[in-house]
A and B are shown apart, each in its own frame.
Chain A
Amino acid sequence: MEAKQGQKNQFLKGRIQNWFTSSWSGLLVPILAVLTAFVVGGIVIAIAGGNPISAYLGLLEGAFGSTKALSETSVWASPYIFAGLAVALAFKGGLFNIGAEGQLALGAVASAWVGYALPGLLGIKLPTIIHLPITVLAGIIAGGIWGAIPGWLKARTGGHEVINTIMMNYIALNMVSYLLNGPMKDPNPLNVIARTPEIAESARFTPIFSGYRMHWGFVLAIIVAILVWFLLWKTTLGFEIRTAGANPDAGKYAGVNVGRTIVLSMTLSGMLAGMAGAIEVTALNYRHELGFSIGYGFDAIAIALLAKSHPLGVILSAILFGAMRNGGTRMQFLTQIPVDVISVIQALILLFVAADAIVRFIFRIKAREERVVLTRGWGG
């Protein structure tokens, strides 16, 4: 009896130790990748004639230097968390959703439309408790549909989701450009910009602190991240998604309907991206403006990869990327180094995360075999 207890304790201790070392080594490589990227980025800045140290100090000050800076960092981080989760969830299902960009833009447009047009269409004043949820839901659904199409095409015909989601991005951006310049353009005679009218008061989140732009979307994003974690690791659907992602053949053998799981993963992924757009409209801008969301979907790829597709890791890497984007403006103001250098550093982070063999080589870390496999031919 006692021996059994002891064995159990030993077992538990081993598990905790394993968990500890594995999550530490899981964090180690991304952290070193970020550091390496900043060092190489500094070299790029120096070659282009800037001072990397003052640039990075400006970046830090702009991102975390004041309560206002912190609030702005959270404003940037909110859509990044949603979009990062979108890409991460698809990765877990073995799918590469490059289409977060388009799903997000369409989500924003759908939300904006329900936000400004629905009360007039129904002829009644809607209370916030009804109007706001519908407005957010509209964005989620629009994004979900835009994600489901490439998912269905992949499951049905094998057409590779990488190309299809990219094509759907261009189609979405063309459609949004058409809508915002035509049928949905703000009719205000003073308006010359391609943007929608403002959404009704009843479709808006109220600010958390007056005087700061930080909004409820950030809180919601963290809750959703926890939900996604729960979905992936504590539910049958999550298990199916991960199985289909890790090894579709084994999944099929174990009775997982891989086709259905692919469609579901892509739909959920699109819904998360659509939610990013919906939150931007309902909690921050109160309208959608053309070109506002450009680049979110691509940053989201880097965020998900840096987080190793872990939903809680996405929160951290989204805050890092939000801080960089936010601090970049201050850096440019102080040092005249173009904010575009942030994109270079981000790409370098991605390079060192993806090719972690380089980081392991530089810092002499032993390899832990765990690869994402996305390249599975083109289908067709």
Chain B
Amino acid sequence: MDIRRFLFITLIIVVLIGVVVLVGGSQVSPATIIVSMLATTIAVATPLTLGALSGIFCERSGVVNIGIEGMMLASAFFGWFAAIYMNTILGVQPLPSLLTGVVVAILTGGLLGLLHAWLSITFKVDQIIGGTVINLLAVGISGFLNRQLFFEKGSIFGGQVPHAPGVLPRIQIPIIANIPMIGKIFEQQPIAISAIVLVILSHVVLFYTRWGLRTRAVGEHPRAADTVGINVYKMRYWNVIIGGMIAGLAGAYFTLESVPSFEPLMTNGRGFISLAAMIFGNWSPFGAWAAALVFGAAQALQINLQFFRTLIPPQWAFLQQSSIVGLVPYILTMLILTGIIGRTTPPKADGVPYEK
């Protein structure tokens, strides 16, 4: 990542945290606010980080995936459903139920990834339209099943929403947990931790393994890759499926880690914002993570301002309006796409179907 973008990211995060310190500093010590802001930032950046990683796997292999939003939404629903089914109908303990939910969410994402691969690689459907199909399908299926399974009389839960088995518990990582401040910041729930682990893992896989080299080859110059004996279709299929599974894990964040409930349309554009994070991070895992943190910080600002809303001085009254502060991530996304904060270079064959 070039220095200009690194400075931009740092600056934005500092400003966003600074606003909360200015507003709430008189009541709570600045150090506490900073620690809490950073911890919230990492937590709420989780689906964005994972979404961006999902996009990176797809696009590094040459397939554009705007269906990440839908993959997240569908996985959030099916993961949640599986967890509740295990817990209430089969009587399994909460923690194993939740973990089953996570597995189901990942599988749901993988399945939708397979659908996207099938459409865009085998049928060569325009990839933007293929992604849109997945988005609409996810909205329809999750909305329909949510109503049919939970709210209709005579459904398996008898027409009332059953108690969810809670959310995944926080983990204390040995050694890190004992460091002052840092320990508090990284005391996160499992999906948030695994997102960070996956960032490192993806970097290693993409840039230091044979698999990664082949993935990048079919995304940059599929013809050349084909000539040296790499199976372009197979590489693309697997990368899109892996991308789908990562999006599925992001979906699990919404219903199994963040809140113990499902609402229609609850992903709220996070899948699309993560694509902006991927672009801003120049299709590299660490860059995308940094960009995701900016969006996370913008959202953390919104959450923390709600918390301190009585302390907001009257001349800044607009900060009380969550619908105004809530605009920040969306405007940031558009700014990033204009390229004024540094141009990026997508994989050369990104979005181009390969004809043998």
Write the residues of chain A forming the contact surface with B, with a CB cutoff of 8 angstroms. 44, 48-50, 96, 98, 153, 156-160, 162-164, 166-168, 170-171, 174-175, 177-178, 181-182, 298, 301-302, 305, 336-338, 340-348, 350-351, 354-355, 357-358, 371-380
Contacts and interface: CB of A to CB of B under 8 A. Distances in A.
A374 to B, nearest CB: 4
A157 B339 contact: yes
Instruction: Give chain B's interface residue range (CB within 8 Å of chain A).
Output: 35 or more
B133 A347 contact: yes
B236 to A, nearest CB: 14
B66 interface: yes
B327 interface: yes
Contacts of A376: 351
Contacts of A305: 129
B310 interface: no
Contacts of A373: 126
Contacts of B124: 357
A143 B272 CA distance: 22
Given A163-B276, A375-B351, A344 B141 contact: yes
B154 to A, nearest CB: 8
A341 B142 CA distance: 10
Contacts of B337: 153, 157, 159-160, 163-164, 378-380
B175 interface: no
Contacts of A371: 126
B344 A347 contact: no
Contacts of B30: none
Given A302-B136, A343-B140, A344-B137, A178 B129 contact: no
Contacts of B148: 48-50, 337-338, 340-341
Contacts of B151: 338
Contacts of A348: 137
A355 B125 contact: yes
A167 to B, nearest CB: 4
Interface stretch (B6-14, B185-193, B223-231, B328-336): B328-336
B125 A354 contact: yes
A378 B339 CA distance: 11
Contacts of A174: 323-324, 326-327, 330
Given A160-B337, A163-B276, A166-B272, A377 B144 contact: no
A interface SS class: helix
Nearest to A166: B272
B145 to A, nearest CB: 7
Contact of B339 (A49, A158, A163): A158
A204 B336 CA distance: 42
Interface string B129-166: 11011001101110111111101111100000000000
A160 B59 CA distance: 15
Nearest to B137: A347
27 contacts: A49-B154, A153-B337, A157-B337, A159-B337, A162-B66, A162-B128, A164-B334, A166-B269, A167-B272, A167-B330, A174-B323, A178-B321, A301-B132, A337-B148, A338-B144, A341-B140, A346-B136, A350-B132, A354-B129, A357-B124, A357-B125, A372-B126, A372-B129, A376-B351, A379-B339, A380-B337, A380-B343
B64 interface: yes
B128 A153 contact: no
B127 interface: yes
Given A375-B127, A378-B279, A343 B144 contact: yes
A164 B327 CA distance: 13
B338 interface: yes
Contacts of B127: 375
Given A343-B144, A357-B123, 7 more contacts: A49-B148, A96-B128, A163-B275, A171-B330, A336-B152, A357-B124, A372-B129
Contacts of A347: 133, 136-137, 139-141
B346 interface: yes
A165 to B, nearest CB: 10
8 nearest A-B residue pairs (beta carbon): A343-B140, A159-B337, A375-B351, A338-B147, A344-B140, A340-B144, A347-B137, A347-B136
A30 B73 CA distance: 28
A171 B119 CA distance: 31
A44 B337 CA distance: 39
Given A157-B339, A336-B153, A380-B279, A170 B269 contact: yes
